[in-house]
């Protein structure tokens, strides 16, 4: 028997004023989903274990029977597979996301543009997707980053839009990183990587 699994990630959305306060799926015409609901079995299931975020890199593993506690190591290995980048047994992959940062200029100064390099409390996350950056522009930037920061141990690979990849050959997997989407509108100082390997 064959199965088709459709995961409507983010489909629930939020209430929209233009839709009379309804969420998009509530306002949409969904005859095919309605048919499946009428002729199939409908229920609720918790597929992600407590302590794991129900994100796009965790939920599919759980749905397919791969326990996230054992198999989940973050979204980057999926990015690597999607980009055709082979990872060695001891390689550590990190998803690199392009973002937009903003700086509040202190009183008495015309500009605090240079302060963004210090990544202090005056720097905030304005946008977690670099304003919808195009693939070609993003590729140029990642290539420049790789030229400046890449080495035999560290390599950067261009992906799509704001999402890219860094591979640390023989690296450490104990650094804790934060999802930029959770930092929008906040000072980034307290959300920089921490733990063993964070200095990279």
Q: What are phi and psi of 187, to 5 degrees?
A: -70, 135
At 110 the pLDDT is 46
Per cent of the chain over pLDDT 70 is 92
SS3 166: strand
Return the domain boundaries, the chain. 1-73, 74-200
Q: What is the CA radius of gyration of the chain?
A: 21
At 106 the pLDDT is 58
Q: How far is CA 107 from CA 113, 122, 125, 188, in A?
A: 14, 12, 21, 21
* Nearest alpha carbon to residue 125 among 166, 162, 156: 162
Q: Give the least confident one: 112-116, 125-129, 181-185.
A: 112-116
CB-CB neighbours of 172 under 10 Å: 13
User: Span 122-128, mean pLDDT?
Assistant: 87
Q: Give the least confident one: 40-49, 94-103, 133-142.
A: 40-49
Q: What are phi and psi of 47, to 5 degrees?
A: -105, -10
Please determine, for residue 116, whether its predicted confidence score (pLDDT) is greater than 70. no
At residue 178 the predicted structure's pLDDT band, cuts being 50, 70 and 90, is confident
SS3 36: helix
* Nearest alpha carbon to residue 97 among 59, 136, 127, 122: 127
């Amino acid at each position: 028997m064959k199965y088709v699994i459709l995961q409507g990630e983010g489909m629930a959305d939020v209430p929209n004023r233009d839709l009379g306060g309804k969420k998009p799926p509530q306002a949409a015409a969904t005859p095919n989903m309605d048919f499946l609901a009428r002729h199939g079995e409908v229920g609720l299931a918790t597929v992600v274990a407590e302590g794991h975020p129900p994100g796009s890199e965790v939920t599919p593993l759980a749905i397919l029977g791969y326990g996230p506690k054992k198999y989940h190591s973050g979204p980057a290995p999926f990015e690597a597979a999607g980009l055709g980048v082979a990872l060695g047994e001891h390689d550590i992959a990190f998803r690199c996301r392009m973002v937009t940062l903003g700086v509040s200029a202190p009183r008495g100064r015309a500009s605090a543009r240079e302060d963004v390099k210090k990544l202090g409390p005056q720097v905030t996350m304005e946008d977690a997707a670099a304003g919808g950056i195009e693939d070609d522009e993003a590729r140029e930037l990642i290539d420049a980053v790789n030229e400046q920061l890449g080495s035999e141990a560290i390599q950067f690979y261009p992906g799509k839009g704001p999402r890219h990849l860094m591979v640390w050959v023989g690296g450490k997997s104990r650094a804790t990183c934060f999802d930029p989407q959770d930092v929008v509108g906040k000072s980034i100082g307290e959300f920089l990587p921490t733990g063993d390997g964070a200095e990279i």
